[in-house]
Structure 1
Amino acid sequence: MGKEPTECLPESFPHAPGSWRFSATGSISTTSGSASSARASKRQQRRRCSSGSIRRLRRTGSRARTRRRDGEWPGCSASLKRAMPPSPRWQGCNHHALFCTSVLGRTSDRTSSRRRRGMVGRSCGPSLRKVFPEQFRPLESWKRRHGGRSMSMQDYHAFIASKGIAASSHGFAPQALPERLFTHQRTAVEFALGKGRAALFLDTGLGKSGCEAVFADEARRETNRPALILTPLAVARQMQRECEAFGVEARVIREDADVFPGVNIANYERLGKLDVTRFGAVVLDESSILKSFMGSTKCQLVEAFAQTPYRLAATATPAPNDHMELGTHSEFLGAMGPMEMLCRWFINDTSTASQEWRLKGHAVGDFWSWVSSWARAASLPSDLGGDDAGFILPPLVHQIHKVGVDIMDGAQDGMLFRIPDNSATAIHAEKQRTLVERVACAAEIANADTGYVIVWCERDDESAALTAAIPDAIELHGKLKPQEKEAVLEAFTLGERRVIVAKPKMAGFGLNWQHARTQVFASISHSYERYYQAIRRSWRFGQTEQVTAHIVIAETEHGIWRDIQRKAADHDKMKRAMSEAMRGAQITAHKRAYTRSADVTLPAFLGGIA
């Protein structure tokens, strides 16, 4: 380090009192400074110094000006260096960098920063290494650690790999996992326990619940502290049955007094009544609840479990329409914040004035490699080295039922027909106009079927009308207490009631209803995630019959169905891209070292040669 700035600054420096000027020989002289001498000195300064450097100093703000004077951003040209040659008093001082020739002042901020860090060291001359020796310390320290030899290309790749951003491991190797696990489940659980904080994006029906139960039980044994599984409403009892199937002792709890040393299961609504510091592991079932970047639930979960040693997030639909949900999962697991993820791999195309972020073309491989360092994704068991036999689902058939309505009713002035737009007000108004026709069509379909039927709707008035039109239907609505909602869902799950009328946002996540092969959508919204999750309640692993989805829409609602189809295509495309991009990393993680010794048989004519 050089001298302190107060010790090495001459009086002629711009921060010092008085004025400064140049002699004919280029030496520096100072004066106490009258107004006339100061003006003459400034004129001489402009002639002697690089005008471009001076203008550059004046154009920048106070912060940039201070940085250049302090030597942090040398931007002065060779002419200024010649005009103000360094004296012995200035040698070793950081301010001497102000008068040094440097390519940094002529490049962009990004290139300057990279060169300062030594990332573009080959283009920096010896003089720059002398001016900024601390910026080249990583390479110099590497030489010292390796006996002074130069860095080879292999060493360089290893050095760059050490600077990677892959999520670190905080877990352990499990000793014995239940035999009931399928191969792909075992692979997923081993990865999650080895990382300690991981996400499992397994499609519906691939056994996420079993993976969650085993993860929680193994983490409980490792930490000797209770484990917690958070589930959507009415999924807690189903999760308890899954735990029992894998030999895991689990209980459904409602408050902190119910916590016991094993695996505890609670609804997300009960989180505020629990002391989360007691748990050594937490599992989020249907973790798509984290998708809202600034949502209160997401913020509460991230803050509550920031210090929990073992964390697992499991969902079947990560980011069906965008990548932000991956960022919120990463934040919950402590790998990286969503804004840092966006700034590193994504770009916001401001030309369209939208808030959508798209993945940079050159960053695709690096991004998915980073995701694969803390997550595993699979659409089929073969994606994780398993067997697809028994997991190929039966066909899914869509039947569209168009309901005729009076399209002249409510037409705007000058318009012959009513053409509703996609605003929320227009959509709700249109559903109100077509309610009677859609309810009648949906009730007719449900009453004609003799098996179990799921009827989906979007509004309270639709739900009440459908329940009245279907004699043996049970209704799930928001006015019920939590215990009553659980009783309604249990009644249909156990086959006690033939038809259930519900909204996808209340009963569309986490439930296994393979006994129902008919679904009726009396109303549909623009949310593809709700539609996908609703379909997957019965069209999932364990379903042996064809599943039929009846879509009831008015003639004026074709735009909603087209939007759902477009989002479905985008979702399938993203899932394929995600699986393909992560497959390489997932396969690499399961490679075994080849240790077989080489057997060489010499030909007969070489047998006597020593």
Structure 2
Amino acid sequence: MLIASSEEESVANRGQGRSGGARTSGGQRRREIDNQGILPVLARGVREVEAAVQRGRGTSIRSRYQAIALLVRVERQRVKGDTEVSEGQRAELLKRLDGVATILAKTAAREPQLFDLLADDAVPSDEVKMLMREMTQAAGLEVAPEPEPVVDEVAARTERRVLPQSVVARQLANPFMAPDFSAPPAPQPQTQRLSTWELIGPLLSAFERASVGSSACMELPEPASTMTPGGIPLMHHQAEVVEAARQGHRTFLLADEPGLGKTAQSLLAAHAADAFPMLAVVPNVVKANWAREAEIWTPHRKATVIHGDGQDIDGFADIVIVNYEVLDRHVGWLGDLGFRSMVLDEAHFIKNKSSQRSQHVLQIADRLRQRVARPLMLALTGTPLINDIEDFRAIWEFLGWIDEKQPRAQLMASLEETGLTPLDPGFYPAARSRVIDLGIVRRRKIDVAADIPDRRIADIPVELEGEAARSIRDTQRELIRRLVSRYDHAVAARSEKPEGIDEQLVEHVAILVRDETPADDAENVFTMMRRIGQAKSALAADYAVQLARQAGKVVFFAKHIDVMDTAQEVFEQRGLRYSTVRGNQSSTARQESIDAFVNDPDVKVIVCSLTAAGVGLNLQVASNLVLAELSWTHAEQTQAIDRVHRIGQDEPVTAWRIIAAQTIDTSIVGIIDRKAGLAARALDGLDEETTSADLQLETLTALLRTALQDRTA
């Protein structure tokens, strides 16, 4: 391999086509050839890979890296065997290929996991093969068509399905699982006036015809109590849905705006209806939050979360949480486990009925209804009902209101009672009302403003995955090991051993570790927090996308540039328009970004730097903001929230704080909140704001204390 810095500098605009056509000495002809063929494509690609690794996103470009490396090998062999080029031309081409290979090698040195992709036995994935074909086509070269594999789709899907051992144990413990048909049957229509009518279209049209501001909420009963069985107070609007379930209502399209507690309402409705076990199908980004909410609202019910093939789940749990992305592997046993309730979070995910995701959800729902006469079915979404009503067809089918062709018995009987047909103008408002009565619940923040505080922080725990997550957890374990080792060494040096944990020594050790100069491969709390921010950036952006599509404009705050970059990439991939406020912007560009967010209804998100946009902005056009990274001080967090919660804001404000579960994120957020509580109780401005150094010290102290407690437990 030739290594030449000049080649690295020029590789982006030099290359040679497969035609080997560099046979003239004319400068113009040479320039044309240099910008043709596969080499310019490889050069651009390797620079993109290099830039991604420099920004700390090495895991996101593994496939592109391997595709480039394989194409370099193919092109090298082609050039070596090309008899139509001179030796000088061959040497020049090989030198340019070496330039690309050099950058690949140096990039792998920065991201060692990429070296595995250079091994001779590294098998390219389908994605890698696709990228190779795309780059070859971009070079203007012919690509041999690949034969279409003959695939039995049903067999392929079945082959991917799994059956966790704990589920087998549950089935063996209760092999009969008798169906429950104790509930009264659904009413049958008295006449058949509408039996020959196509009714699904008119039902959907009934919602499109409704005037703006028309109520889209069923009549809800007055709650008998606003306290949970565990003694936690409920907001009035939450208690209404729980009371409806207690009184026997069994289907809900719960379309409250984000921030009104749909998860809590679902869990408590299942408790009120005695509808366990429950299946919750949720987006991956809120899977951990569902487990946490279950622990808060239904602590007497065991919740389990399915990851991957689900071999570590508790098959005897009362609440089973699965994300859409892995549903295909588990659809078999989920339909047979005997669930008495099913919740579909972000239910608009199934709007495309032809997708496998939708088909699996509807399949499980139908099998559930075959075993239980009136199961509790809840579809949660914050999307306004008056927009894209056709998207709700699959949701109505999930809830059992309609099938593929017509309303089911309960809705059909209700429509027959009106005495109207789609030819009658009065049919549409009457039909809309009858559908709403089946269980549509839609409340806005402003509708229940008396129930909720004018400003609140809601934590969304997310689970980090992949190599970055494993690396972060390994680093955290190493940091804890350093703390415990220093503590043990200090205790061993004493003549008198302490009884229990020596709190003074714990703090002293934390100070030493905070102030020491670590080895080159060691990390401190600051660097770990930055890596955690990078790892959860895409998840935070994904949550912001969901908010924007449900509740309107969203402010997205981050501390680091690479986190903002990742978020903007996610928004672009999802087709979401955004603006941005960063520290390196001119005052003119900054104001243009703010104006676009405030005035353009199509700009749904503004991506803001915590340091550059934490003060001096008026963004009260939004009532939701996402804090993608934790602040080092409570004041910094408050300043960010105050960009939205200020004079002119007419809705309660919710700050969604993204927390990486099973990392020091959870320790730090607890410390920040505790400091905030102390500050709230301080009088006359005597409270001192926590510094980042103090926060690092308290984090280390908490990690060491927890490790020592776990060891002695």
TM-score of the two chains, using structure 1 as the length reference: 0.37
Q: Which structure would you say has the larger RCO, counting Cα contacts within 8 Å and 6 or more residues apart?
A: 2
The structure with the greater share of residues assigned to helix is 2
The structure with the greater share of residues assigned to strand is 1
